[in-house]
Amino acid sequence: MILEEMPGTARHDREMAIQAKRNLSKTTDPVERLRLKCLARGSAGIKGLGRVFRIMDDDNSRTLDFKEFVKGLNDYAMMIDKEEAQEIFRIFDKDGSGTIDFDEFLVTLRPPMSNARKEIIMQAFRKLDKTGDGVITIEDLRGVYNAKHHPKYQNGDWTEDQVFRAFLDNFDSPYDKDGKVTTEEFMNYYAGVSASIDTDVYFIIMMKNAWKL
């Protein structure tokens, strides 16, 4: 399999961002508005917000109080007024404890996907995760991909490892690229792509073609 630019993603990203901005003016649901604001940044938008929250979670509690929640939104330059932020927080703080579980928050924020889409995404993940440890690394890619056809490898700009790393960075979060892609990151990435594709059939065809499944 040849490693070229990620299949269809740049174009889908642009279309999705435009669509998200358009839909923002039509919706008043605060959670949907936050979702669209993230998607307006492309398919890694939600994942990026997740990373901001993770960095703020100093005590590894995987929860956020309202102050942290607002600070996270501000750090990520999400322009949301306090009332709307409070409303979103209340929706996620189901037990009224004054904290929200941010894994649950991110899963809810992810655009909903059918099981058929989730299954094909997991098929692609398992194909790439050669070692089967639930994380895709450069080592995994060596077994699946030939980097030598990549234009930047051919003209001497990049080493083989740089080709692989650039590929992994597609899926990794914009703020913390560690060269490892987890199931969650892969799923988040494709939830973004999925949001720009209307039918399951087209999404599945795109994934099968992209990953030779």
pLDDT digits (tens, 9 = 90+) for 76-135: 888 888 899 999 999 988 888 999 988 778 878 888 899 999 999 999 999 999 999 999
Closest to 92 measured CA to CA, from 59, 72, 114, 64: 64
Helix (H) or strand (E) holding 117: helix 115-128
Q: How far apart are CA 58 and CA 74, in angstroms?
A: 17
Give the model's confidence band at 52: pLDDT under 50 very low, under 70 low, under 90 confident, else very high: confident
Strand 181-182 relative to strand 135-136: parallel, antiparallel, unpaired?
A: antiparallel
Residue % of the chain over a pLDDT of 90: 21
DSSP code, position 85: H
Using the structure block, give the residue that is written with the tokens 């994942």: 47
Q: How far apart are CA 3 and CA 66, in angstroms?
A: 43
Instruction: Give residues with Cβ within 8 angstroms of 84, minimum separation 6.
Output: 30, 33
Across all residues in the chain, what is the average pLDDT? 84
Radius of gyration of the chain (CA): 18
Question: Which neighbouring-strand residues pair with 135?
Answer: 182
Q: How many residues does the chain have?
A: 213
